[in-house]
Structure 1
Amino acid sequence: MVCSSCLRNVIIQVKSIGPLSPRSLWLGSVPRVLTDTLGPGYICYYKPRKFRAIGKMMVDTGATEKRHSVVDVLPDKEDDGGYASGGCKSEDGKLRCGYSSFRGKRASMEDFFDVKMSKINEKTICFFGVFDGHGGSRAAEYLKQHLFENLMKHPQFMTDTKLAISETYKQTDKDFLDAEKDTFRDDGSTASTAVLVGNRLYVANVGDSRAVISKAGKAIPLSEDHKPNRVDERKRIENAGGVVMWAGTWRVGGVLAMSRAFGNRMLKQFVVAEPEIQEEEVNEELELLVLASDGLWDVVPNEDAVSIALGEEEPEAAARKLTETAFSRGSADNITCIVVRFHHDRTESPEPLLKQQKTSELQEVSGKVTETQEDRSKEPETQKDQTAVVEAPQQGEQKS
Structure 2
Amino acid sequence: MEEEARCFLRRFVEEFPAALKEDDPLPVNTPSHQVSVEELHGESLELGLRLLAARGAPLGLSALLCQAALSQLLKDDLSAFHVPCEAESDQEEEDKLVLFQSEVVQRLFFNKLIAVALSWQQDLPLCPPPSPRPLLCSVHAIKNTRRKMEDKHVVLAEFNELFGTQDGVERAYYAVFDGHGGVDAASYSATHLHVVLSKEEMLHRDAATAFKSAFKRTDNMFRGKAKREHLRSGSTGVAVLIQGQELTVAWLGDSQAILVRKGQAVTLMDPHKPEREDEKQRIEDLGGCITYMGCWRVNGTYSVSRAIGDFDQKPYVSGEADCSTIQLSGEEDYVLLACDGFFDVVKPSEVPDLVLKGLQQTGDSEEAGDLSSEPPVSGVGQRVAQKLVGHAKAEGSSDNITVMLVFLRPPEQLLVQR
The TM-score bracket by the shorter chain reads 0.5 to 0.7
Please state which structure has a larger fraction of its residues in helix.
Answer: 2
Kept in 1, the 8 Å contact 2:247–2:327? The answer is yes
Q: State the match for 2:295 in structure 1.
A: 249
Please state which structure has a larger fraction of its residues in strand.
Answer: 1
Q: Which runs of 5+ in 1 are unaligned?
A: 1-62, 68-87, 346-395
Kept in 1, the 8 Å contact 2:306–2:318? The answer is yes
Q: What letter matches 2:305 in structure 1?
A: S
Say whether residues 1:158 and 2:197 are aligned partners.
no
Q: State the match for 1:275 in structure 2.
A: 321
Q: What letter matches 2:390 in structure 1?
A: E
Deviation at 1:66, TM superposition (A): 5.4
1:290–1:166 distance in 2 versus 1, CA, 3 Å: same
Kept in 2, the 8 Å contact 1:94–1:343? The answer is no
1:186 aligned to 232, 246, 251, which one? 232
Kept in 2, the 8 Å contact 1:166–1:274? The answer is yes
Deviation at 1:322, TM superposition (A): 0.6
CA distance in 1, matches of 2:338, 2:381: 14
TM-score, normalised with respect to structure 1: 0.63
Q: State the match for 2:52 in structure 1.
A: none
Kept in 2, the 8 Å contact 1:286–1:342? The answer is yes
Kept in 2, the 8 Å contact 1:103–1:335? The answer is yes
Say whether residues 1:170 and 2:216 are aligned partners.
yes
Kept in 2, the 8 Å contact 1:213–1:220? The answer is yes
Say whether residues 1:111 and 2:165 are aligned partners.
no
- Identity score, percent: 32
1:202 aligned to 245, 248, 257, which one? 248
1:264 aligned to 310, 320, 325, which one? 310
Deviation at 1:344, TM superposition (A): 7.8
Instruction: Give the SS at the match of 1:151.
Output: helix
Say whether residues 1:324 and 2:364 are aligned partners.
no
Q: What letter matches 2:233 in structure 1?
A: D
TM-score, normalised with respect to structure 2: 0.60
Say whether residues 1:134 and 2:186 are aligned partners.
no
1:64–1:309 distance in 2 versus 1, CA, 3 Å: farther
CA distance in 1, matches of 2:340, 2:30: 24
Kept in 2, the 8 Å contact 1:109–1:137? The answer is yes
Deviation at 1:128, TM superposition (A): 0.5
CA distance in 2, matches of 1:308, 1:140: 27
Q: What letter matches 1:329 in structure 2?
A: E
2:195 aligned to 118, 125, 149, which one? 149
Q: State the match for 1:309 in structure 2.
A: 355
Q: What letter matches 1:158 in structure 2?
A: H
Report 1:49-128 matches (<5 A).
91-117=131-157, 118-119=159-160, 120=165, 121-128=167-174
User: Which deviations, in whole Å up to 9, do the C-alpha atoms of 1:300-338 show, x marking residues without a partner?
Assistant: 111222222233443331111111111111111000011
Deviation at 1:183, TM superposition (A): 3.2
Instruction: Give the SS at the match of 1:287.
Output: strand
Kept in 2, the 8 Å contact 1:316–1:339? The answer is no
1:204–1:155 distance in 2 versus 1, CA, 3 Å: same
1:260–1:64 distance in 2 versus 1, CA, 3 Å: farther
CA distance in 2, matches of 1:263, 1:178: 10
Say whether residues 1:333 and 2:396 are aligned partners.
no
User: Which deviations, in whole Å up to 9, do the C-alpha atoms of 1:102-151 show, x marking residues without a partner?
Assistant: 11111100000001123341111000000000011000000110000110
Aligned residues: 267
Q: What letter matches 1:339 in structure 2?
A: L
1:160–1:65 distance in 2 versus 1, CA, 3 Å: closer
